[in-house]
Amino acid sequence: MSTINDTRFQYQVFLLSGIPGKEDVYCWISIPFCLMYVTSIVGNSFIVFVIKTNPSLHEPMYIFLSMLAITDLALSITTMLTTLGIFLLNSREISLDACFVQVFFIHSLTCIESSVLLLMAFDRLIAICEPLRYASILTPQRIGKMWLVCVLRGVVIMFPFPILLKQFQYCRENVLSHSYCTHGDVMTMSCSDITVNSIYGLYVALLTEGLDSLLIFFSYVMIFKTVLSITSHTECLRALNTCISHLCAVFLFYTPLIGLTMIHRFGKNSLLQIVLGYVYLLFPPLMNPIVYTVKSKQLRSRTLKIFVN
């Protein structure tokens, strides 16, 4: 890996980007961002609280939902400080080390969320295709091990990112494309050879989100095949209805992620890149609690019971 011997041009900070050209209205733009972050943090915290305090919700489906909520909560907190720092305080600077740490957490949590969505697809697959074995397959001990594997997978696979980035010299530009740091964005700021990072980043994307999305697709192929074989129209709709919330979560997570990845690698549309960048990290944590609360009768009734009492 080539480096530059003259370190006089080495940047010590990166400059984050909000919405270029709209700096004069950042104060107003900060309002919806604050509302989204507050809603996301409160909503996901409330989901975890309701599931934890209600033994009747200690079922595999709701345990997986609590895992998703914890991941979304951590993801919101990871990006909140830098994003709101730009819009509220116009604070764009972030040190290289702080940026590398944020890269690790964003990518690790994204990988964990992808893994949890895969587990939720597996949960729906077993519930619909093997209902009599559901409780024996998804035991609390097995679910705990699955959660541990998800976390370890995200941490181990993404740990090389900040280490590789730290080896580079940054002397070209120091203005990032988003209000947070990502691996693909940071490595393009380097004037060193980024071949290893580029190959490893593609490998990681295929091994994590790419593989997970493929397995989720195959899970739903098997689910739909089983559902269509049900003779009762009512039972068929009931089975499909249990999958709607998860399908919404999958759509909210993978659509902006795939779009942002494609733009980073092949596109030049900066406005679309900025919009997808915010949708990618803000909308899943914001919408998941709303979707699941609206669609889950048990979760909705428990939530209403707390407010009524």
CATH number of 195's domain: 1.20.1070.10
- Residues near 305 by beta carbon (within 8 Å), at least 6 away in sequence: none
Asked whether residue 245 is domain-assigned, the answer is yes
pLDDT digits (tens, 9 = 90+) for 52-89: 988 888 899 999 999 999 999 999 999 999 999 999 98
Instruction: Give the separation between CA 3 and CA 243, rounded to whole angstroms.
Output: 51
96-129 helix and 211-228 helix, angle to the nearest 10 degrees: 20
Indicate whether 212 pLDDT > 90: yes
Indicate whether 5 pLDDT > 60: no
| Domain membership of residue 36 as a residue range | 22-308
Half-sphere exposure of 54 (CA within 13 A, CB side): 20
What average pLDDT does this structure show over 125-149? 92
Indicate whether 165 pLDDT > 80: yes
For the chain, the straight-line distance linking the first and the last C-alpha, in angstroms and rounded, comes to 63
> DSSP assignment, residue 229?
T
* Per-residue pLDDT, 305: 74
Asked whether residue 44 is domain-assigned, the answer is yes
* Per-residue pLDDT, 110: 95
Regarding predicted confidence, which is higher, 308 or 222?
A: 222
* Per-residue pLDDT, 2: 40
Using CA of residue 180, residue 257, residue 239, residue 142, what is the dihedral sign? negative
Residue corresponding to tokens 């428990």: 302
Instruction: Give the separation between CA 304 and CA 306, rounded to whole angstroms.
Output: 5
- Helix intervals (H) in 189-296: 195-205, 211-228, 233-241, 244-266, 270-295
Asked whether residue 205 is domain-assigned, the answer is yes
Q: How many domains does the chain have?
A: 1
pLDDT band at 238 (very low <50, low <70, confident <90, very high): confident
Asked whether residue 266 is domain-assigned, the answer is yes
Q: What is the mean pLDDT of the chain?
A: 87
* Per-residue pLDDT, 4: 41
Using CA of residue 164, residue 167, residue 170, residue 174, what is the dihedral sign? positive
- Closest-CA residue to 150 (of 118, 206, 112): 112
* Per-residue pLDDT, 80: 92
Asked whether residue 4 is domain-assigned, the answer is no
Asked whether residue 8 is domain-assigned, the answer is no
What average pLDDT does this structure show over 247-256? 92
Regarding predicted confidence, which is higher, 10 or 24?
A: 24
pLDDT band at 266 (very low <50, low <70, confident <90, very high): low
What average pLDDT does this structure show over 125-147? 92
Q: What is the pTM of this model?
A: 0.91
Instruction: Give the separation between CA 95 and CA 74, rounded to whole angstroms.
Output: 21
Instruction: Give the separation between CA 27 and CA 266, rounded to whole angstroms.
Output: 33
Residue environment code for 140-159, b if the CB has 16+ CB neighbours within 10 A, otherwise e: eeebeebbeebbebbeebbe
Weakest mean pLDDT among 95-104, 143-152, 178-187, 211-220: 178-187
Asked whether residue 146 is domain-assigned, the answer is yes
* Per-residue pLDDT, 298: 80
Asked whether residue 7 is domain-assigned, the answer is no
Indicate whether 1 pLDDT > 70: no
Regarding predicted confidence, which is higher, 237 or 181?
A: 181
* Per-residue pLDDT, 141: 93
Indicate whether 261 pLDDT > 90: no
* Per-residue pLDDT, 270: 72
